[in-house]
Amino acid sequence: MTKDLSITHSCLIEKNKVILNGRDVFNSQGMDLSAFLLALYKHAGINYPKFYKMDNLSKLGFLAAEMILKNPALILDFKKEDIAIVLYNRNSSLDTDINYFETVKEMASPALFVYTLPNILIGELCIRHGFKGENIFFLSETFKAEEMMDYVTFLLENNLAKACLCGWVDCFEEDYKACLMWVENSEQGEYFTADTINKIYNQGNG
């Protein structure tokens, strides 16, 4: 941990609600995942037609990132090649893999096949925001705050990036969770520690 690195923005999406920077900003109970994601997309006033072609994993991560990055001033101080993306999840792209397999029985769907890798989500974020920095998608059975902290800290302390969008985006059927954080060298926000990361990740359990 370094006291120079801070989490200045965060977004948690789970249980049909959105917590942005510690505040509940959207809640829509009684919907399945697909309907909830569409409702959030419309509520946020986003105009990005490609959203409708994404699988649920990409939609989930895309919306969490949109909530954080909707203020363009957040990234104005950084070159696009200096912004990294570091993501984790448990189920890879299994949700889409299963749906794609079902289409193979009759007519394979190229639109689904595109999303049968989890790092396609990173590609969608890079296309949307023009990021050109380091990026990686790890698979992990559980969320490991210290592991993420160590990797992101290494990138920023060794000048491999100046800012990082990092966190967890996982989706399998109706079980889903996105927890993204914006980390940079700043006196604002909360120190980038494992305790802070876990607090943000678990804030929806209260």
pLDDT value of residue 173: 86
pLDDT value of residue 91: 80
Q: Would 98 be classed as within a structural domain? A: no
Q: Which domain holds residue 85?
A: 5-92+118-205
Q: Would 84 be classed as within a structural domain? A: yes
Q: Would 160 be classed as within a structural domain? A: yes
Q: Would 200 be classed as within a structural domain? A: yes
- Strands 83-89 and 175-185, sheet pairing: unpaired
Burial class (CB in 10 A: 0-12, 13-18, 19+), 72: exposed
State the Cα–Cα distance between residues 15 and 36, nearest whole angstrom. 10
pLDDT in tens, the chain (206 residues): 445 899 999 999 999 999 999 999 999 999 999 999 999 999 999 999 999 999 899 999 999 999 999 988 889 989 999 999 999 999 866 555 456 445 555 655 555 545 445 778 999 999 999 999 999 999 999 999 999 999 999 999 999 999 999 999 999 988 999 999 999 999 999 999 999 999 999 998 86
* H-helix or E-strand spanning residue 138: strand 135-139
Q: Would 80 be classed as within a structural domain? A: yes
pLDDT value of residue 101: 46
- Strands 17-20 and 23-27, sheet pairing: antiparallel
pLDDT value of residue 113: 42
187-193: list long-range contacts, CB under 8 Å, 24+ apart.
Answer: 187/6, 188/6, 188/8, 189/6, 189/7, 189/8, 189/9, 190/6, 190/7, 191/1, 191/3, 191/5, 191/6, 191/7, 192/1, 192/2, 192/5, 192/6, 192/7, 192/149, 192/152, 192/153, 193/1, 193/149
State the Cα–Cα distance between residues 178 and 182, nearest whole angstrom. 13
Whichever domain contains 137, its CATH number is 3.40.47.10
Structure tokens at 104: 């193979």
Rounded to 10 deg, the angle between the 145-157 and 194-201 helix axes is 120
Q: Which of 179, 204, 205 is nearest to 7 (CA)?
A: 179
**Count of domains for the chain:** 1
pLDDT value of residue 105: 53
Q: Would 35 be classed as within a structural domain? A: yes
Q: Would 109 be classed as within a structural domain? A: no
CA 177 vs CA 18, 48, 62, 89, 145: distances in Å? 10, 22, 12, 9, 15
Q: Would 110 be classed as within a structural domain? A: no
pTM: 0.91
